[in-house]
Chains A and B, each alone.
Chain A
Amino acid sequence: MSILVIAEHDNNALKPATLNTLSAAQQLGGAIDVLVVGSNCQAVAEATKAVAGVNKVLVADNAAYAHILAENVAKLIAMLGKGYSHIIAPATANGKDILPRVAALLDVNLVGDVMAVLSPDTFKRPIYAGNAIATVQSTDAIKVLTIRGTAFPAAAATGGSATIEAVSEVVTAAKTRFMGEEVVKSDRPELTAARVVVSGGRGLGSGENFKIIYALADKLNAAVGASRAAVDAGFVPNDMQVGQTGKVVAPELYIAVGISGAIQHLAGMKDSKVIVAINKDPEAPIFQVADYGLVADLFTAVPELTAKL
């Protein structure tokens, strides 16, 4: 058994989701190698080397990998991954984009969003927006998996002493042209890794009104999330959407403000440890999952909460 973990990073820093994926790798058992593919990503390789339990860090550092495009990165991973029993990555936008392509190149299936490892070939994963949990067994020679970060603890970022090996193969993307990106800059904690998340929904009424959510989040050193309705209405950018088809979060404390609690939203936050709902409608379904519900107008309750904390 040997496992190839695909690191999630931005060429500067290793993303926390990688550490959760590494603890899933540890549960699989076997030697763990980590592939860092990117451009000018040596700092990421150094950080990965220090993570507990890593055997070898493979570094594919080339301008061709600057934007982690599926076309060439999947080919590279499929080539390097052939000798492993498992190829795994966090279930992030990149992981979901690239790993299915890797699996098909290797003529195997992929088990996505793994939330429990029962044995090296048997896994639990959510289906139907998390309203059912499937146990599936893979008979493929190489198991390709994406890992739901919130379901596994983070591996220790220090204590390891892996070797670093450069990957010399360069695969280029002949048919994909990178044209640009709009990266959302934020000093707040990352949504999927934050200890506290404050989310706003359609009840906020406008992007301008989200300032009361940000003020509360700042008081709690929290990340800010949103419902699909708030994103669709243009109140906040798409990367803040929590839910079945957005990000999955499981913080210690989740505060839902002006969110009704549709099943698609619950799918992304119902594993949070403590859930608070602030909503003026006492019948809103969000109260069925909330540990503490406050029936109130958010425009008075949220500023009052921020002021009193």
Chain B
Amino acid sequence: MKILVAIKRVIDYSVKVRVKPDNSNVDLANVKMSLNPFCEIAVEEAVRLKEAGKASEVVVVTIGPKAAQDQIRAAMAMGADRGIWVETADTELDALTVAKLLAKVAQNEQPQLLLLGKQAIDSDNNQTGQMLAALLDYPQATFASKVVIEGNEALVTREMDGGLQTLGLTLPAVVTADLRLNEPRYVKLPDIMKAKKKPLDSTSPDVLGVSLQKSVNLLRVESPAERQAGIKVDSVDALIDALKNKASVI
């Protein structure tokens, strides 16, 4: 079984982003970039399935500028076998365009399992996997906290608003990773060296036959309303007094 994992290069989760003074966008100049944490979890799951003998090959794909190759190498250091880089200068493609590009790559590669992150922590979109499943007419399980491959099915436990749900998806299927699916491994130096030698192919939207049209246009980006700094109270009694008499919330 082949697994295709879609990965995205995003701002590192520990960085607090700033808005540009002209409100055109956020400022990503000289900001640390990393593999999206949910994509890292998706890669880890794919590699574990291969290590467990459930998968034969793990292919990672990213759509983005040249620098996104760093994230393909990072995924290879975790254990992915091969990479595909879809070159686009624009880092802010519509989710539907990303899904269309991924659908073309999936048609070429014919994986049985497509793993994505549930959400990219830059756009916070939480859409691409669902759109990809629609375009391919594959079943989907979003927000996965457990994936078991059994026969021709993926048995997936999902984190829902009211608890957990388990679905059996007929393969090929799309699964998006949530935080508790696994804890990604730390990569070791020899793995990083080995990753440099793994095959990385590049392709383009033209070759894949997808036009990069946009239907959601970014007009403005602003900082959220800042909260006024509050006060420290020195005792539980003072806290109760403040909540009753100043804030009037209890």
Contact present for A308 and B240 (CB under 8 Å): yes
User: CB within 8 Å of A: which of B225-244?
Assistant: 227-237, 239-240, 242-243
30 examples of A-B residue contacts, CB within 8 angstroms: A69-B167, A93-B142, A97-B140, A99-B130, A101-B140, A110-B127, A128-B26, A128-B121, A128-B122, A131-B223, A136-B218, A138-B215, A140-B216, A175-B173, A182-B163, A182-B164, A238-B159, A245-B38, A245-B121, A253-B247, A263-B16, A274-B249, A287-B230, A289-B227, A291-B227, A292-B243, A294-B232, A296-B236, A308-B240, A309-B240
Of B118, B124, B167, the contact of A178 (CB 8 Å cutoff): B167
Contact present for A309 and B123 (CB under 8 Å): no
A133 interfacial contact with B, CB 8 Å: yes
CA gap between A142 and B233 in the complex, in Å: 51
B interface with A by C-beta (< 8 Å): 11, 13, 16-17, 19, 26, 38, 94-96, 99, 118-119, 121-128, 130-135, 138-143, 145, 153, 155, 159-170, 173, 178-180, 215-224, 227-237, 239-240, 242-243, 247, 249-250
What residue in chain A is nearest B160 (Cβ atoms)?
A93
Contact present for A70 and B142 (CB under 8 Å): yes
Contact present for A291 and B247 (CB under 8 Å): yes
A92 interfacial contact with B, CB 8 Å: yes
Contact present for B170 and A175 (CB under 8 Å): yes
Chain B residues positioned under 8 Å from A274 (CB to CB):
243, 247, 249
CA gap between A69 and B139 in the complex, in Å: 9
CA gap between A32 and B243 in the complex, in Å: 40
Q: State how many angstroms separate the Cβ of B181 from the closest Cβ of chain A.
A: 11
Say yes or no: A239-B215 contact (C-beta < 8 A), given A110-B127, A132-B17, A134-B221.
Answer: no
- Quick one: CB contact mask for A235-257 with B, threshold 8 Å, 1 for yes? 00111000011010000110000
Chain B residues positioned under 8 Å from A175 (CB to CB):
138-139, 169-170, 173
Q: State how many angstroms separate the Cβ of B4 from the closest Cβ of chain A.
A: 18
A33 interfacial contact with B, CB 8 Å: no
Contact present for A132 and B26 (CB under 8 Å): yes
Chain B residues positioned under 8 Å from A93 (CB to CB):
142-143, 159-161
Contact present for A291 and B230 (CB under 8 Å): yes
Chain B residues positioned under 8 Å from A102 (CB to CB):
134
Of A105, A122, A178, the contact of B134 (CB 8 Å cutoff): A105
Extra pairs beyond A132-B223, A175-B169, A291-B247 (12, CB < 8 Å)? A71-B139, A93-B142, A97-B130, A97-B143, A103-B127, A109-B94, A128-B124, A176-B140, A179-B167, A179-B168, A239-B162, A245-B118
What residue in chain A is nearest B170 (Cβ atoms)?
A175
The 10 closest A-B pairs by CB, nearest first: A100-B130, A104-B134, A177-B168, A100-B127, A104-B131, A291-B230, A175-B139, A175-B170, A135-B220, A179-B166
Contact present for B134 and A252 (CB under 8 Å): no
Say yes or no: A244-B121 contact (C-beta < 8 A), given A133-B221, A179-B166.
Answer: yes
Of A69, A126, A181, A264, the contact of B163 (CB 8 Å cutoff): A181
Contact present for A96 and B167 (CB under 8 Å): no
Report the contact-size class of chain A (Cβ under 8 Å from the partner).
Answer: 35 or more
Say yes or no: A220-B250 contact (C-beta < 8 A), given A71-B139, A179-B155, A239-B160.
Answer: yes
A interface with B by C-beta (< 8 Å): 10, 67, 69-71, 74, 92-94, 96-105, 107-113, 122, 126-140, 173-184, 196, 220, 228, 231-232, 237-239, 244-245, 247, 252-253, 263-264, 270, 273-276, 282, 287-296, 301, 304-305, 308-309
Q: Which of B128, B130, B133 has the most CB of A within 10 A?
A: B130
Chain A residues positioned under 8 Å from B139 (CB to CB):
71, 173, 175-176
Q: State how many angstroms separate the Cβ of B213 from the closest Cβ of chain A.
A: 10
Say yes or no: A308-B236 contact (C-beta < 8 A), given A140-B215, A175-B169.
Answer: yes
Chain A residues positioned under 8 Å from B133 (CB to CB):
70-71, 101
